[in-house]
Structure 1
Amino acid sequence: MNGRGSELAAAIALTLAACVLPRAASAGGHHCTREIAVPVSASGASVITDGPQVGGIYPDLLRALSAKNGCSFSFSVVPRARQVAMYKAGQADILVPASRTASRDQYGTFIPMINHRAMLISMAGNRAPITSAQNLLERRELRVAVVRGFDYGEAYSALMAELTRQNRLFVEVDVVAVARLLNAGSADVTIMGPTLMAAAIRRDPRVHGMQEKLRFEAIPELPWSASGAYVSHALKPEDQQTLTEMLEKVGKSNQVMEGYLRYFRADMLSDSVRPRPAN
């Protein structure tokens, strides 16, 4: 992590601690029965990794919560695809950050934190706009790169399957690898949240300066949806309840959105990240 990233992570940790601890202290004295396993992979500002070191919005938030509620969290750094596989195998007690999908609902309880949407991202140029998933499939000259383990719902999965059948899909281990393909002209389009790409560009000197050259396009098959955390059904019921109640309070307070605003300008977020709706 560069110096600026370290400062931002530290600032968020302090702010979240100040905001969260009073709430945690009044949560009724719940305690987790064991250490909570949270495997993570680099994910924009949500999770920042530097070797084995873990920071970012969600890890800092969980650490702030742990100080008063009796739950301790153990972080480990793994590739995104392995992180999701561990969650489905009952080896990850919390999956974060995560879009809500029917597949993941089978293995845990979803707690929404923000609303977000994935967009088509490419290098700016004079090609005609892409207006839909079908339009992208018809543009067979365009090569698409995505991150293994990312999932934005059924329409996204169907699109990935068809792009694979057309032999147009590159699947990479992380966002930086995708950014490098776009920057080199080896891929034409990616699909992900714009903040993920922005954070990867900020972090990797090989693609510095790329942000100003990007084009972002929304398509109807990738609508606004909830993003947040899953609490695994593999946990004891009392731990599931404790963690769900704890994270639900955080979700309603919109502290995650406040964290995004410390990393990104509001105008960058307006097309891809919004506060969780009041309910």
Structure 2
Amino acid sequence: MSPRLTTVLFASWLTLAAAQAAQREADCPPAVVGVSDLGYSSYLDGGAIRGSNIDVLDEVQKRSGCKLEVRWLPRSRLYALFFNHELQMTGAALRTPERDRYGTWLPYTYTHFELVLLNQHAGKFRSLAEFVERSNARLNITRGISYAPQVQVQLDRLQQLGRLEYVNDYSVVFRKIQAGRADGTFAPPTIHMLMQRQFGMGDKLSALTVAESPRAMVGLYVSHKVPAAALQRYADALRTIVADGTMQKLYERYLGVDTARRLFHDGTRDILDALPPPR
């Protein structure tokens, strides 16, 4: 092959590669992802943002080829920015009708909210309703969390009884429990396990499952303003993360094998069925 032909072919390859890169960016422009204080899902470690949700976003970026910029925000502000189209994506979200108006929900894992109480208040409550009726313990929970309707009914009852207070984040919740100004909270293992470790309260608290809070799916919300091609890439990336077992391994890293297995005890078929089909 002559040097001239080699030069022409190399120039053509560069042109094609540049065109393909430009097309990828047009299909999947850089996106800003909002995350907040959610225990092992997303937390600040010095100046770094860490957690299972951050690891998932890293995998989505690698597998989709789409650039994601993660931004730390207060939970109460995150959805205000998402609804105002200032964020293209949110991490670790339960599905709600309000959020569906602004974005497409892509599930990738499970959560299970538990009633977490100081040991002296941790009776054998099978439901939140029993806790409301048979205890005087006070709960603190955070603003910006969406609860199942049957859970919210009981939380509203607690608030009317003066036994529930909303605060800004889970760090405040556990500081108040530690200081004796609250007796417990309502949170998933991803949150309360990290908080118990950080506050040295692992032997002082008990976590109870309650009837009103069955296992639920958690996902990313992708703004309706994001191109359809990018949405599909995100969905395809999440599908592979769930299907190849990466998601469960990430949870095992943060929560331990036993807790992760309880969350994924009957497989991931409902998550895979809820994602857009691959193309």
| Class of the TM-score when normalised by the shorter of the 2 chains | 0.7 to 0.9
Query: 1:134 is matched with which residue: 104, 116, 129?
Result: 129
Residue 105 of structure 1 deviates from its aligned partner by 2.6
Residues 3-26 of structure 1: CA deviation (Å, up to 9, x unaligned)? xxxxxxxxxxxxxxxxxxxxxxxx
Alignment partner, residue 242 of structure 1: 233
Alpha-carbon separation, structure 2, partners of 1:119 and 1:269: 15
Q: CA deviation at 1:79?
A: 0.9
Residue 58 (str. 1) matches residue 53 (str. 2): yes
Residue aligning to 2:246: 255
The aligned counterpart of 2:206 is 215
Question: Would the alpha carbon gap of residues 85 and 139 (structure 1) be closer, same or farther in structure 2, given more than 3 Å must change?
Answer: farther
* Counterpart in the other structure of 1:43: 38
1:175 aligns with 2:166: no
Aligned residue type for 1:105: D
Q: TM-score, normalised by structure 1?
A: 0.78
Distance in 1 (alpha carbons) for counterparts of 2:265 and 2:156: 29
Pairwise CA distance, 1:213 = 1.9
SS of the residue corresponding to residue 125 of structure 1 reads helix
Q: Cα 1:165–1:94, aligned 2, differ >3 Å: closer, same or farther?
A: same
What is the CA–CA distance in structure 2 between the aligned matches of 1:222 and 1:44, rounded to whole Å?
Answer: 19
Out of 246, 254, 257, the residue aligned to residue 266 of structure 1 is 257
How many residues align? The count is 247
Match of residue 82 from structure 1: 77
Q: Hey, what's the Cα distance between the residues in 1 that align with 2:134 and 2:66?
A: 50
Supply the distance in 1 between the matched residues of 2:231 and 2:168 (Cα, whole angstroms). Answer: 30
Q: Could you say which residue in structure 2 is the equivalent of 1:20?
A: none
Distance 1:77 1:145, change over 3 A: same
Shift of 1:35: 1.5
1:163 positional shift: 2.5
Find out whether 1:161 has 2:160 as its counterpart. Answer: no
**Is 1:114–1:276's contact at 8 Å kept on the other side of the alignment?**
no
- 8 Å contact kept, 2:122–2:206: no
Residue type at the aligned position of 2:145: F
TM-score normalised over the length of structure 2: 0.78
Q: 2:90 pairs with 92, 95, 107, which one?
A: 95
How far did 1:196 drift?
Answer: 0.8
Which runs of 5 or more residues in structure 1 are unaligned? 1-28
- Encode CA deviations 1:165-186: one digit per residue, 9 max, x unaligned: 3332111222221112222221
Contact 1:116 1:224 in 2 (8 A): yes
Q: Contact 1:251–1:276 (CA<8 Å) still a contact in 2? A: no
Larger Rg: 2
Deviations 1:201-220 (A, max 9, x none): 33x3xx22x11221111111
How far does residue 55 in structure 1 lie from its aligned partner after superposition? Answer: 2.3
Residues 121-151 of structure 1 deviation map (CA, whole Å, 9 limit, x = unaligned): 0111265322222223324622111111122
